[in-house]
Structure 1
């Protein structure tokens, strides 16, 4: 009887999760379908159709044909890749230091970090700091912005505290110092939390547009999310440079603005969508297996 109740409960949970997944999956597929539809047939799409009407890459050619978009895409990739790597390194090394038992002043430091996490500085203070550091209109302002997230730091600390002290002590007996312990033992064992907070950092860096629009003022240093907002929300059609020639060469009467918006959104989604399968495959094995036996 108990088994039947558990089975029914799991079935209901499965159905609920399936419906929740569809609410996110169907709109994404619909955006892809609209972006890939032929401009002359895109008006045939109704509601949440999942298949494109015809097939054409003209929308992507128009958006990516503008050199500003290509430059913004490369800027976003630079900020995301370099920023994520630096965030992971400094968050992990800070967590390693704060989990040492003989650290002097650990409690005041943690109280200070928690206060910072609760009472975040305002945009004026952040802007003045970037100005004093001469980082305004520099990609490094977004790379270095919020290098360490206190919440992710605490997550990493909780994991590092679970590493057996006997494992670290064995390395110390062999003459390993702190950097050797950190690079050769802590970092490999922390693979799962590193990937987890790395994914969080990457998504935050990639999707950040508000601070980018403030710290980065020139078109040369703009990022993809800023252009995405200008085009999709503010209907800035500067990305349509060269569209007339493409339409003429492909015998297309006119472009559909909603399809261009969908193509722009797809371009902004693809890097993050590619990130998830790469990371999720590393969650299949236990990180501490074989590390030490007590």
Structure 2
């Protein structure tokens, strides 16, 4: 018996075959498998990135290169910003961009405020009729009122041709309420109870304790609302008849999806750039704001959604 073996101890069974190399206690994968995974990730990245590269390159390409390539350019030989200058010189895209920013920022703030208040109320154990109210929200996730009743309601309250028609019908999402309610229920009750014992009101507890601890879920839900408001075009198609109140996505649908030609009147320029360059420039402008915001909030996604989905 060796000096290191204790009486009655069971020695580990011998390992047959080749043993895997360890690095800091973690098995090291074979070089071939790692190369295969890297190649697969590279192909997936190329599939995702190349369309964006083509859109950006086409918006920067000249008339001759677009004509030679058949409408899609992967690398502009002589980049030009003429399409962007023409777009911002006219009033259509600039006005639509302002409308989208107002609707997205204002709608997101209102939706976050309403969702936080409703979710916090439903997270309270002593709320009378809490189960009934929660059941109404859950039913609304399964059954929608439909397009015609919603349109008649919007018309009846006088919201046609108003920016409020793009915000109020979708201001509160039942799914976001359920996620945020679950997040509030996971917060330690000792914090709120101790604050109430010290004399803090319910509103003070909500604003000074609950909301600062809920930055992750607020970032996630806020991004959900912002992306929804920014990408929405169907409500504008139904409720907005005035072209000066069109959001960016409705302009994108009109001039890119429906392939409506933009002339000098819409562009405010006598020399009209090629239509593919204009269309791709509009598409880039509609994508860039979300691409700028997303990296700052991406780190909160896993924590905000998964923590809010632990229990409900």
The structural deviation recorded for 1:172 is 0.8
Alignment partner of 1:138 is 2:162: yes
Structure 1 unaligned segments of length 5 or more: list them. 248-253, 287-294
Alignment partner of 1:155 is 2:179: yes
Alignment partner of 1:63 is 2:87: yes
**Rg bigger for which structure?**
2
SS at match of 1:40: helix
For the structure 1 residues 281 and 245, does the alpha-carbon distance in structure 2 shift closer, same or farther, using more than 3 Å as the test? same
Alignment partner of 1:261 is 2:279: yes
Q: Find the aligned partners of 1:82 and 1:18 in 2 and give their Cα distance.
A: 39
SS at match of 2:280: helix
The structural deviation recorded for 1:63 is 2.0
Q: Number of matched residues?
A: 280
| 2:51 corresponds to which of 17, 23, 27 | 27
1:81-120 aligned at under 5 Å gives the runs 81-120=105-144
Instruction: After superposition, give the CA deviation of every residue in 1:164-205 in whole Å (9 maximum; x if it has no partner).
Output: 001111111121111111111111111011010111111110
SS at match of 2:121: helix
Aligned to 1:196: 220
Q: Find the aligned partners of 1:124 and 1:147 in 2 and give their Cα distance.
A: 18
Deviates more, 1:223-232 or 1:12-21: 12-21
Contact 1:65 / 1:241 at 8 angstroms: preserved in 2? no
For the structure 1 residues 86 and 7, does the alpha-carbon distance in structure 2 shift closer, same or farther, using more than 3 Å as the test? farther
Alignment partner of 1:270 is 2:294: no
The structural deviation recorded for 1:238 is 3.9
Alignment partner of 1:206 is 2:221: no
Q: Find the aligned partners of 1:119 and 1:130 in 2 and give their Cα distance.
A: 19
The structural deviation recorded for 1:42 is 3.0
Q: TM-score, normalised by structure 1?
A: 0.85
Q: Find the aligned partners of 1:115 and 1:264 in 2 and give their Cα distance.
A: 39
